Structure formats: C-alpha cells, structure tokens
Structure 1
C-alpha cells in the first residue's frame, strides 16, 4: 500500500516538474500594481447594465455602428451580428468560420475584420468575405489578428497579438492569450496593410500581446494596448516611433474604441492579480502553473472596468462594477444616446443610457 502511494507521488512530482508545456517563460519585472486609486478610484457606475438579447451567442467582443446605422457585433461562434440600435431586427450578417476580435469600416462600406483564425478580412455590405492578407511581406504568417482600424487614406492598421501562439493551433483565443501572456516573450506587433499594393508591413514589434488599436483624430497616431504589460502606447503611424501613454494600469487593457468629443475608450478585461506579478521573476513556477488543472490557475477575479481618455493621456471617465456581473469588459462603443459595453464571454450586450 505504501509502495503504491509512493509511486503515485513520484509520478505526480515527475508530471509537475517534467511534463512538457508549450510556453518557455522568460523573466520580466512588473511595477507594483497601483490598485484602484486616483482617477481609477472604486465606483459602481458600470453596475446594473441593461441587456440586449443575442440569443444563444456569447462574447460580443467588438461592437460598432455601421455606415447603415445598424449595430454590428462580433461573437464567439464566428458570426457577426447585425441589428437595430435597440437590439431588434437581429440577424447574422456574416460568418467567417473563425473568430473576429476587431473590425472597422472602410470608405466603400466594407467591414474590415481582424479574425484571429483567418487573418485580415474584408466583408462587403452583401456579406461576401475575402481575405485581404494572412501574411506579412516576407511570407511570415499572421497568427493572431486582433484589433484593426482603417485610416482616412485607406491604410489598414492591425495588431498581430502573438507570433508564438496561434488560436487556431492552441485551442482558441483565450488559451493562446494565456500562453502568450504567461510566457512574456513579447512577440506581438502592429502591422500595416496597403490596399493599393496588397502588401503588409511591420510597423512596430516586441509587444507583450498587442491588442486593441485606435487612431488619433488627425490620423497620424495610433494608440495600441500592450495587454501583457498593463500599458497603452502612442505609435507614430508613419515611422513606428512610440512612447508610453499609460503605464502600470490596474488591469489588463483589451480593446480600444474612439468615442465622441475626442474620447478613446478602453476596457480592462481583468484586474491584476498580485500572485501573477510575483511570478514574473520565476519562469519555472510559471511553467509549473501550466501543468496544473485550469481551476487552480491564478486567474484574476471578475471585475467590470472601462475608462475613457484623451489623446494626451488624461482620464476623462471611469466606470466600474466590482461585482463583475458583466464579465470581461473589453471596451465601450459610444453613441449620443448610449454606451454599449463589449465583453469577452457575456451572453448578452450590456448597455446604459449615455451619462
């Protein structure tokens, strides 16, 4: 009996210490988390959201108003839903067969989508889908297309969150993002697609999970979330020169959306977890974590949080729901009447009257 228990323990230890995992974590040094202070002092302004039914769909990760005045929402099934502003007349506009995480509309009315499985897509107003690009100019594949914005000159800027972990190969977008952020090898990049030449170039690289992207009012500057390092960058759209706009945020920044009156909205999809930060200098322990059942991973608690900022880095609004009733808030789409809140996993679209 004792021998059997010993063998079981030895097998368990061997598994925890030696079982191969895909990530090779590297050491990094986060700043101490600031907590909820100053402009991000705790509040409940995001609590009690009203609901727009999306049927059996989940994860309205990105929501935007189309040139036809309809509301469009990308959901986990690969569908892009289209509906009236109040959620009525809901229909499936298109299904990409992948997972769209961000989209924008170009001057011709096409929906330009960053699909984490397929690359950069264009969808015509009648729902026809075409691949604009799935590789950069040197043939390197785009593994994790994430956020996208179309510039006034037609250039499409978009993020490739990770060149290490493609959702199509690692069980989906959430699984691939966990591997990339845990590893911290910083392979995310910002890409630029030229519709005239059909070529895709690298504008910026070395980001720890490059995520949401937005354009300045004059079209010259990009704002890009670096989710894995809790920060937001300003990047010159012509040269790629960059500077940090927000650093050491209290959570993981996900999507970016231009709002009204010069505002840019960002969602903190999860709050920071002190345990995760403490493991930053312990790559072996992070590797061991991947061998544990998912229920034992140090996943941060649910906490609803979005805020708006100006192009020069001033926080203009901060909305929170400490209960996390609306899970994984990714950003806000703002209209004159409403704020529509995006979510990674919610089974409905949350909204509130414009404050």
Structure 2
C-alpha cells in the first residue's frame, strides 16, 4: 500500500491543490519567431551601464523638462540623475512600486504606481494621490501613464483581478493575470479639473504601456497577455475591446515577445519594449486545466526561455522602423526604451544598473 500512497499524494496535489486563477481558454496565434522586420540581430549588445548603487529595477525611464533622467526602482524610490548618470539622488519615495511616468505642463511628475495608484509628485518631491479608484472600483495595478496637452492623464490598470499589493509584487500578479486570461485590464482617464477618473476602454489582457498620438486623439496601448498593441480613441467611453468598434483596432499583432512600455521617441516614432520571449504558455492557451497544473509546480522547476533583450520602434501607422536585439541570454528584462538625441536608455524590470547605447 505504501508505494500506492506515494503515487496518490502527488497526483492529488497536481490535480486538486487550489490555485488563485480561473483560467479562460483562448486561441494563441502561432508565434512568428524572429523573422522579417524582427530578424535576429545584435544591435542591443554592448550596453553601457550606469550603476544604481544597490537599487534595482529601473522599469521605466522618463526625461524631465529639466534635462534630467527619472526612474522608479523596486524600493519605491524615484531616482533623479544627469544623462551621464552623475549627480544621482533620491527625488521622492512613493511607498509602493513606481512604474510608468510622465511630466505635466507645469513640470510635475505623474506616476502610475502599481501599489498606490495614480500619483502626482511636485518639484519638491511631495507625493499626492490623484486616484486610487475609478467609479468606486479600486485601481489595483496602475502600469503606464501619459499626459495630454489639455492636462488630462491617461493611464492603464493592468488587471482588476490581481493586485501586486495582495499577490507578492508586480511579477507574481502579472504572471497570474496572464495565466488566467480573463482580460480585465483597462485604460483610464483622470480629469484634474473634475478630480475624477473614468473608464476609456476595458477587456484588455494585461493592459501595460501607453502613449499618445501626435494630435492627442488616439492612445497606443500594449496588451501584454495577447502580444499586441492597440490604437484606442481618447473619446471612447467604457469601450469593451472584445467587441468590434471603430474606436479601437489592433495596430501590431502577434509580436514575438510580451509588449511592455511605450514611449514617444524622436521623429514621431514610438518605442516599445518586449519583456521576454513567448514560451510554452501558448501551448496551454486552449487548455485551462494545464495552466492550473502549471501553477502547482514550484517555480524553480519552470522551463523559462533565456533572457532576450528586444526593443523596437514603430510609426503611428504601425510600420516597424527599428529593431534592436540581444540574443546572448545576458540581457536584462527589456521593458522599454527612452530616446534622447545621442542615447537610447533601456528600461528593465530587474537589473541593478541602467543600460544605454549611443545613437
């Protein structure tokens, strides 16, 4: 009887142990691999690195109107430094996890904080919470933010199911959301005059990076869990992207990695970071029960793809005009890129330095 018991215990564990997701079946398109405009290259090799002196995870980098770089790190601090990395100081501390950032016309810093919500940080570093709920519903996972010329702030709430504050941080919450595929991410607008937020669009599977078109009429939104980038009208009201609408369309589809931060670059182009290669999750797309089993396996046994640095730039009509890769396996998790006249700074979620390459 003892050998039978040894077999039954793990069988029961892998089939019955509770997991926090209610996975949804979906059809994952066949991964395109690295071909065409994404043909393999080494253009992201040889990054110069700016040490962060013990801090880690410059997940987003913003260039301020003062010419300084601003980046949020895992400790909850926002660092400020010259473009060569010198003069680094702690500008502010949010007490959460600062992710996407943007500056308003007055020079104030707007921050999407995964724990705290949408924040405004004055020039002296004082933090004010602009919004931690929308229409009475908590903002659980603020991700990206952008400020329009009229002062309105557009930002993403990656998941209404899994909040980093409740699930051990951004990585675990994002993993659960993408595994579940319930697509509860949304795009929000905050009106400072009305001091209220509204839902622009919903139904996104992990809404991530966000950027505005040159005329401020359209939002570009990366949907990490479905490997695509959307164009969504800023005028949309509670639009569900699961239903066809003239106000939303997919601009970039079936990308070779998980699309992350979006930033405006030079010459009208938009930079996008691909935070990791696609993996066996695609094979489980139509098998929710397999995803439940996978979550019961200790993470140390997961077969993860090797790190693959990858950032691209595209135009507002969806033409890819730059593709930079590091296929060596030594790249940090490339979540985006910030472009200046002579440098391209590479965002990353876990490195202990800020990388850049010369333009």
| TM-score, L = length of structure 2 | 0.96
Instruction: Report what 1:292 is aligned to.
Output: 297
State the 1:271 CA deviation: 1.0
Over aligned residue pairs, what C-alpha RMSD do you find? 0.9
Matches within 5 A, 1:103-252: 103-137=101-135, 139-239=136-236, 241-252=247-258
Q: Distance in 2 between matches of 1:37 and 1:230?
A: 16
**SS where residue 255 of structure 1 aligns?**
strand
Instruction: Report what 2:44 is aligned to.
Output: 46
State the 1:225 CA deviation: 0.2
State the Cα deviation string for residues 272-309 of structure 1 (Å, max 9, x = none). 11x21110011001001000000223433210000000
Aligned residues: 350
State the Cα deviation string for residues 299-351 of structure 1 (Å, max 9, x = none). 33210000000000111100000013221101110000100000011110010
The correspondence for 1:304, drawn from 302, 309, 325, is 309
Q: Distance in 2 between matches of 1:123 and 1:211?
A: 21
1:265 correspondence with 2:242: no
Whether the 8 Å CA contact 1:254–1:266 is kept in 2: the answer is: yes
Q: Distance in 2 between matches of 1:131 and 1:281?
A: 40
The correspondence for 2:284, drawn from 271, 275, 279, is 279
**SS where residue 345 of structure 1 aligns?**
coil
1:349 correspondence with 2:354: yes
**SS where residue 204 of structure 1 aligns?**
strand
Point out where structure 2 has 5 or more consecutive residues left out of the alignment: 240-246
State the Cα deviation string for residues 234-273 of structure 1 (Å, max 9, x = none). 0111125211000000110010010000010001001111
Q: Distance in 2 between matches of 1:115 and 1:60?
A: 13
Q: Distance in 1 between matches of 2:305 and 2:198?
A: 35
State the Cα deviation string for residues 184-207 of structure 1 (Å, max 9, x = none). 000000000000001110000000
Q: Distance in 2 between matches of 1:124 and 1:8?
A: 61
**SS where residue 105 of structure 2 aligns?**
coil
Q: Distance in 1 between matches of 2:165 and 2:67?
A: 33
Q: Distance in 2 between matches of 1:90 and 1:162?
A: 33
Q: Distance in 2 between matches of 1:252 and 1:55?
A: 29
State the 1:107 CA deviation: 1.0
Instruction: Report what 1:90 is aligned to.
Output: 88
Q: Distance in 1 between matches of 2:351 and 2:331?
A: 6
State the Cα deviation string for residues 15-57 of structure 1 (Å, max 9, x = none). 1110111011110001111100110000000011011111101
Instruction: Report what 1:74 is aligned to.
Output: 72
Instruction: Report what 1:60 is aligned to.
Output: 58
Q: Distance in 2 between matches of 1:291 and 1:105?
A: 42
Q: Distance in 1 between matches of 2:303 and 2:249?
A: 31
